[in-house]
Every structure is written in C-alpha cells, then in structure tokens.
Amino acid sequence: MVALYNPAIEQFPFTKTSCNTSTLFPAIPLIDLSKPDAKTLMIKACEDFGFFKVINHGVPLEFISRLEAEAVKFFSLPLSEKEQAGPPCPFGYGNKSIGPNGDLGRVEYLLFTANQDSNLQRFVYPLGKNPEKFRAALNDYVSAVKKMACEILELMADGLKIQQRDVFSKLLMDEQSDSVFRLNHYPPCPDIQALNNTIGFGEHTDPQIISALRSNNTSGLQISLRDGRWISVPPDQNSFFINVGDSLQVLTNGRFKSVWHRVLANSLKSRVSMIYFGGPPLREKIAPLPSLMEGHEQSLYKEFTWFEYKKSAYSSRLADNRLIHFEKIVAS
C-alpha cells in the first residue's frame, strides 16, 4: 500500500495525508530554504524521517534540464556503446548489477567521482557522442548541487546549535572529499505481471553524509517510516529530496537517522534520477561531535574512519545494515 499525495495539504510537521479511510500517512516534510524556519523544520525532519523535500534551493533549473537531456541522450544509445563506459569499477556505466555482491535492479547508471580536484574531468570512459557537452553539464550541475548541500548542512549545524557552522559542510568542501555523483535510468516495465515484484533499486541507506536527489516526474521512490511502513514519494522535477546518510547518523550520535529507501519499477514511463552523495575524505574519523554529547552521553559507535567504513561496506549487500559492525554494545 502506498500513500496518495495531496500537495494542497503538504505541510509539516505531521499533517496526515489520508490514503483511505482507515490508513493515515504523514506527508513528506517540506523545507523552503528561503524561510527563516528552515533550520528548525530540517532538524525535526532529520530526526523523524531522515528525509525531506527542498524548494527554493537555488540550483538553476537550466543546469538541471541540461544535464537531464545529456543523461537521456546517453541512456538512449545502443547498449554496446554504453558498455564502452563500463563496467563500473567503481566509476563508469553499470546495468542491472548494483555493487560488487550480486544485487540486481531494473536500472542502468553512470557513476562518477565528484571530488573537487578530479572535477569530473578525469572520467576516462567515452561519454556518448559529445562528451565535452556532457562533462560541462555535469560540472555545472554538480557544483551547484554541492553548494546547496553545503548550505543545508550549515543550516543543520545552526539548528543543532553547533558553534562551528561548517562542521559538516567542510567535509564536502575538502579537496579530498570522497563524494560521488550518480545518474540512474529506470526503463519502463510494460509487463504488468512482472511489475508487481520488480525492484528498480533495492532498499538501502546511503552511506555518505548527505544525498541530494533530483528526478524527473516519474514516480518510484519510496522511503521507510520509522515504524517500517513504506510510503511513496511523489516525484517533483523542480525540487530536491535530501537523505540523511549513515555518516551523518554517526556524527549526530543517532539523533538523525539515515533513511531506508528504494525504487519500484514503473509501468509506463522511464525514470531518470541524479544523485549527489556528499562524503568525507577517506582519512576522516567518523565519530559523534563532542558538542552534541550532552552531559554523560556516550558514543553509540566505535571509532572508525570513512576508509574503514567503506572497506567494511564493500563486502556487504545493498540491504545490509552497514553500521551494525560499528555500533557499541551498550551495557544495560
């Protein structure tokens, strides 16, 4: 069962959106970055959902449509041409296979490094017929989305009353930030019979600090509520959807929770999504910020670096809880 969406009553917090008379679902939190209450609502959204939608985000719509057009052009190429940009190890073109451990989805994708010094230019694979145009669109888009992600992280730090406003955003701004950018294409699934159990992208949490997702107007994305129910996220091509990643969960000592999400296949239309995953440098220690530890609050996590986390995640399946290996056993 999925939630119907009623934009007219899309409010936060906790407006109930009615699906039928017996079931109520909360609406997706909506944050208007131009409003003074953005930071307060954002904190609540990160605590309650690990997820929210952003409007007035400042990313030029022209950058978005230009990159979408390039992505559509690339994904429309014959498979043999696209495969020249793969396999993803870890960057490049991938089809159906997600990660190194056997996860499959009805999706094809392009994965890029998004850290500053690589400037996306070093992507050595052939990128369609006009790679320079594609690269220019990628660079414009990723720079603008990274700026938005940093602004959001600074509002979060403010909202958490942390003195150092850039405590999270500096990790993305670091020259060695291990950030990633992903273009996903979900082809339509016209076989209605198969549709029922066809997964586009299986359930998972994103490992980095923050993910900023933009998609075209095709539905498919779902998030899991804290009680385990899945709700559909109505697509909105002019907005961004923000995920709390595992690293931000640890940095806030579990106050923010990373969000479980997945994509279901759509019968009629293809879905194109573009996701910026803001990550820390590999050497960075991921540990709860001391300023967030009130009184005698203990860290819920063992100390680890982003490199160690990635190494451990490498042998995991998509749906695994990757943080479990880093949780402390709390004596009761």
> Is residue 276 a contact residue for ligand OGA (CB under 6 A)?
no
Provide the minimum distance between the beta carbon of 22 and ligand OGA in the complex, in angstroms, as a whole number.
Answer: 29
Provide the minimum distance between the beta carbon of 261 and ligand OGA in the complex, in angstroms, as a whole number.
Answer: 5
Closest CA to 255 of 33, 51, 44: 44
> Is residue 246 a contact residue for Ni ion (CB under 5 A)?
no
Place of tokens 């159906």: 96
Interface residue with ligand OGA among 113, 177, 184, 316 (CB under 6 A) is 184
64, 65, 66, 70 alpha-carbon torsion, rounded to 10°: 100
- Residue 322 near which of ligand OGA, Ni ion, none (CB within 5-8 Å, type-dependent): none
Q: Where are the beta strands (DSSP E) in the chain?
A: 16-20, 23-26, 30-32, 51-55, 92-98, 103-113, 180-186, 199-204, 210-215, 221-224, 230-232, 240-244, 261-264, 271-278, 285-286, 304-305
* Residue 165: φ, ψ to 5°: -65, -30
Tokens of 201: 């992208």
CB closer to ligand OGA out of 3 and 157: 3
Provide the minimum distance between the beta carbon of 204 and Ni ion in the complex, in angstroms, as a whole number.
Answer: 6
The rounded distance, in Å, linking the Cα atoms of 92 and 113 is 9
Cis peptide before 131 (omega within 30 of 0): no
CB closer to ligand OGA out of 167 and 221: 221
- Residue 39 near which of Ni ion, ligand OGA, none (CB within 5-8 Å, type-dependent): none
Interface residue with ligand OGA among 114, 242, 275, 286 (CB under 6 A) is 275
Residues 175-214: x/- map of binding to Ni ion (CB under 5 A)? -------------------------------x--------
| Active-site residue (options: 229, 271, 283, 317) | 271
The rounded distance, in Å, linking the Cα atoms of 15 and 44 is 14
Provide the minimum distance between the beta carbon of 16 and ligand OGA in the complex, in angstroms, as a whole number.
Answer: 25
The rounded distance, in Å, linking the Cα atoms of 229 and 174 is 37
> Is residue 201 a contact residue for ligand OGA (CB under 6 A)?
yes
Amino acid at residue number 55: I
CB closer to ligand OGA out of 38 and 110: 110
To the query of whether residue 262 is one of the catalytic residues in this protein, the response is no
> Is residue 222 a contact residue for ligand OGA (CB under 6 A)?
no
From the list 57-65, 172-180, 213-221, 279-287, the region that binds ligand OGA by CB under 6 A is 213-221
Tokens of 6: 């009623």
Q: What is the DSSP string of 16-27?
A: EEEEETTEEEEP
> Is residue 273 a contact residue for ligand OGA (CB under 6 A)?
yes
- Residue 115 near which of Ni ion, ligand OGA, none (CB within 5-8 Å, type-dependent): none
Cβ 208 vs Cβ 249: under 8 Å: no
Provide the minimum distance between the beta carbon of 77 and Ni ion in the complex, in angstroms, as a whole number.
Answer: 25
Summarize as ranges the residues that interact with ligand OGA (CB under 6 A): 182, 184, 201, 206, 213, 215, 221, 261, 263, 273, 275
Which residues are the active-site residues? 271
